[in-house]
Amino acid sequence: MTTAQVEYTEHELLLSHDYAEPLVAGGVRCHGGFDDQGRYVSPRTRMRGPAIEAWEHQRAEQFGTPVLDVPIDSWPEHFPNVEQSKLLIRRGVPEPIIATLTRIGTVEGFGGMLRLVPVPDMRPLFEEDITGTAIAHLDRGLIEAHARDEAGFEEEAGHDVMWFVARDIAFENPVTADETELMLERMGIRGGPGRPAPLVDVARVLPEEIDPTLEFLVGRMINLLFIEIAAFHTFRWAESVLADTDLVAGDGEAARLVSYIRADETPHVSYLRTALSEMRDRTWIGQRGNRYPGEEMIGLLWDKALEDSLLLRRADNLRVTMNEIEHALAGRPDAADLLDEMLSLGTVRRLPDGTVVDTEEPAA
């Protein structure tokens, strides 16, 4: 059995390393920093990283099951893809890429809402002991660390601001505050940066006697996991586009900043996978005392969230992005030809009824 530490205080899980040099980009003090060898080190991972490894090792020893996972290739590539994005920039239409970076940063800012998600007393909700698990530490540092990573904390900028900084470095401060608000409204994001939308009710899929707060929390965690995994396509796209020094400014600094954000997401994926796997491996107890296999409970929420992510969320993203591309092309005499040329470089196209869909082959 593992002898590694599995009990931590919230203070310990929020500790960062002692950095040789802080991360400053575009004049903004960002979280994280660099060690003596100049390697980037993510914030709040001094004890959070080892803790997640210890919990996962303990879980695997106790239950002998694989950790929950879904391959990144389950999600299609980013739209517009790298070549499509470079074509647009090269032809003097950077606005859709700027809009996408703005949208990503804004959505990242919503991460601060994680700390508002209620966490019930977990002990009576599972038949097996949860002492020394990731489950037991969700409201003892794990969720708070995730929220701080996404939305920043005190004087250190988080991912929301870091995406804006990357955008501004690469495109040399391309938008004003008013333009940003209009852009976000076109993309269906209300409230703008720093003013997240309220939480919405989610239809239940688990048995009625399962604590609804637990169902909401687990459903939120699964959605977050899928968002984090799917986001790796976004990182690949952004790093490739922003690293092209012939097309964007900053000598690659924007791409490096995105790579640091990508590194910060690793503990998010890890703790979510481990905590959800711990829940799957346990027996859930309903409010009337009935027992339910964790594998069945997680499976119901998992399947629904995966379908929503691959279908509903993808369809919405395609529609929003295509609208932004067409808005940027409006008034150009070559708009139709440029749009056709762009679509020929990928697998997304518009149907006769106006619907934007993925296809298996590049558009003809």
CA pair distance 28, 169, nearest whole angstrom? 11
Q: Dump pLDDT digits (tens) for 236-283.
A: 999 999 999 999 999 999 999 999 999 999 999 999 999 999 999 999
Q: How many CA atoms lie within 13 A of 64 on its CB side?
A: 0
**The 3-state secondary structure of the chain, one letter per residue:** CCCCCCCCCHHHHCCCCCCCEEEEECCEEEEEEECCCCCEECCCCCCHHHHHHHHHHHHHHHHCCCCCCCCHHHCCCCCCCHHHHHHHHHCCCCHHHHHHHHHHHHHHHHHHHHHHCCCCCCHHHECCCCCCCCHHHHHHHHHHHHHHHHHCECCEECHHHHHHHHHHHHHCCCCCHHHHHHHHHHCCCCCCCCCCCCCCCCCCCCCCCCCHHHHHHHHHHHHHHHHHHHHHHHHHHHHHHHCCCCCCCCCCHHHHHHHHHHHHHHHHHHHHHHHHHHHHHCEEECCCCCEEEHHHHHHHHHHHHHHHHHHHHHHHHHHHHHHHHHHHHCCCCCHHHHHHHHHCCCCEEECCCCCEEECCCCCC
Looking at residue 95, its pLDDT comes to 94
Predicted confidence (pLDDT) at residue 90 exceeds the cutoff of 80: yes
pTM over 0.85: yes
Looking at residue 259, its pLDDT comes to 97
Looking at residue 192, its pLDDT comes to 45
| Mean predicted confidence (pLDDT) in 342-349 | 93
Q: Dump pLDDT digits (tens) for 277-325.
A: 999 999 999 999 999 999 999 999 999 999 888 888 888 889 989 999 9
Predicted confidence (pLDDT) at residue 94 exceeds the cutoff of 80: yes
User: CB within 8 A of 274, min separation 6: which ones?
Assistant: 52, 55, 56, 59, 67, 134
CA pair distance 121, 309, nearest whole angstrom? 29
CA pair distance 59, 52, nearest whole angstrom? 11
pLDDT band at residue 160, thresholds of 50, 70 and 90? very high
Peptide bond just before 80 cis, omega within 30 deg = yes
Q: Dump pLDDT digits (tens) for 182-235.
A: 766 775 665 544 444 344 446 789 999 999 999 999 999 999 999 898 888 899
Relative orientation angle of helices 253-281 and 143-151, to the nearest 10 degrees:
160
If one counts every other C-beta atom within 10 angstroms of the C-beta of residue 346, the result is: 20
User: CB within 8 A of 302, min separation 6: which ones?
Assistant: 68, 222
Q: Is 61 exposed, middle or buried (0-12, 13-18, 19+ CB in 10 A)?
A: exposed
Q: Dump pLDDT digits (tens) for 47-81.
A: 999 999 999 999 999 999 999 998 888 888 899 99
CA pair distance 364, 361, nearest whole angstrom? 8
Q: Dump pLDDT digits (tens) for 328-341.
A: 999 999 999 999 99
What would you measure as the largest C-alpha separation in the chain, in angstroms? 69
| Mean predicted confidence (pLDDT) in 104-113 | 87
Looking at residue 51, its pLDDT comes to 98
Q: What's the token pair of residue 208? A: 């009625």
Could you tell me which residue, 59 or 108, shows the higher pLDDT? 59
Looking at residue 336, its pLDDT comes to 94
